[in-house]
Structure 1
Amino acid sequence: MDKTIKSIATNFGIYLGVILSSVTVIAYATNLELLTQAWLGISLFVAIIVFGIIAVSKSKSALGGYISFKEAFTAYFITVMIGILINAVISVIIFNFIDPEAAVTLKELVIEKSIEMMRNFNTPEDALADALNQMENSPSQFAISSMVQSVIIQLIIYSVIGLIISLIMKKNNEDL
C-alpha cells in the first residue's frame, strides 16, 4: 500500500481521535449528561464519516485523482479506526482510572434516559421493569471488555459505510 495513503489516513485518524476525545473530556469536565444526548451521538457519527470521506478525498488527490476501491477503503478504515481507538483509550482512562464514579453516574443517566424514552413509546410496565433490571445488572459501558466490544461493533458499522463510500469515490485510471 502506498505510504502516502497510510500517512494521510493516519494524520486524519489522529485529528479525528483528538476531536472525539476532546468532546469526551469536555463533556466529562462540564456536564456528563451531554454524553447521553442523541444530538451529540448523531453529530459524532457524522463527524467520523466526514473524516473518513476527507481522508479518501485527500488520498485520491495525492494519487493524481485516481484511487482504487482498496486504496479508498484503506484510507477510510485507517482514519476511522485510529479515531475510534484514541477515543476509546481516553474514555477507559477517564472512567476506569481517573474517576470511576463518573462511569456509575453516567450509567444511571443512561438508564434514566432509556426508561424515559421507553415510557414515551408506551412500553408496558413489565417490559420496563425487565429492561431496567437488565440495564442495572449489565457491566459498565467503560469496562475494558465492554469497550473492546463497542469498538468492534463500531468498526463493523463504519466499515459497511466505508465500503459504500469507497465504491462511490473510486476512480480507476483507464490509461493503465
Structure 2
Amino acid sequence: MDKTVKSIATNYGLYLGILLASVTVLAYALNLEILTKWWIGISLFLVIITFGIISITQSKSALEGFISFKDAFTSYFITVLIGILISSVVSVIIFNFIDPEAALTLKEKIIEASVEMMRSFNAPEDDIAEAVIKMEEAPSQFAIGSLVQSLFIQLVIYSVIGLIASLIMKKTNEDI
C-alpha cells in the first residue's frame, strides 16, 4: 500500500478524533444532557462516515484518480479507527479520572431520556420499570471494558459501511 494513503488516513483520523473529542469536552463543560440527545448520536455517526469517505476521496486523488478496493478500505478504516480511539480515550480520561461523578450524572440523564422516549411510544409501565432496573444495574458505559466492547461494535458497524463505500469508490487503472 502506498505510504500516501496511510498518511492521508492518519491525518483525517486525527482531525476526526479532535472533532469527536471536542464534542465530548464541550458537552461535558456546557451541559451533559447534550450527550443524551438522539440527534447528536446520529450527527456524529454521519460525521464519522463522512470523514472516512473524504479520506478515501483524498487518497484516490493522491493516487491520480485510481484506488484499489484494499487501499480504499484501508484509508477509511484507519481514519475511523484513529478518530474513535481518540474520542474513547478522552471519554475515559474525563469520566473515569477527572470527574467520575459526571459519568453517574450522565447515566441518570440517559435513563431519564430513555423513560421519556418509552412513554412517548406508549410502552407499558411494567416494561419501563424493568428497563430502568436493567439500565441501573448495567456497568458504567465509561468503564474500560464497556468502552472496549463499544469500540469493537462500532468498528464492526463502520467497517460494513466502509466496505460498501470502498466498493463504490474503487477505480482501477485498466491501462496497467
Give the aligned residue type for 2:152. I
Query: Quick one: which amino acid aligns to residue 20 of structure 2?
Result: L
In the alignment, does 2:117 pair up with 1:120? no
Matched position secondary structure for 2:115: helix
Alpha-carbon deviation of 1:6? 0.5
1:74 is displaced (CA, Å) by: 0.3
Q: Which residue of 2 aligns with 1:89?
A: 89
Gaps of 5+ in 2: none
2:116, 2:37 → 1: CA distance? 13
Aligned-pair identity in percent equals: 72
Q: Which residue of 2 aligns with 1:166?
A: 166
How far is the alpha carbon of 1:12 from its aligned partner?
Answer: 0.2
Letter in 2 for 1:110: I
Deviation digits for residues 51-103 of structure 1 (CA, Å, limit 9, x no counterpart):
00110000000001000111000000000000000000000000000000000
Aligned length: 176
TM-score by length of 1: 0.99
Q: Distance in 2 between matches of 1:116 and 1:91?
A: 25
How far the C-alpha of 1:2 sits from its partner, in A, is 1.2
Q: Distance in 2 between matches of 1:109 and 1:170?
A: 43
Q: Supply the distance in 1 between the matched residues of 2:2 and 2:149 (Cα, whole angstroms).
A: 30
SS at match of 2:142: coil
Q: Which amino acid aligns with 1:19?
A: L
CA distance in 2 between counterparts of 1:68 and 1:2 reads: 11
Give the AA of the match of 1:49. I
Is it true that 1:24 corresponds to 2:24 in the alignment? Answer: yes
- Compute the RMSD of aligned alpha carbons: 0.5
Superposed CA offset, 1:5-45 (max 9, x none)? 00000000000000000000000000000001111111111
1:64 counterpart residue number: 64
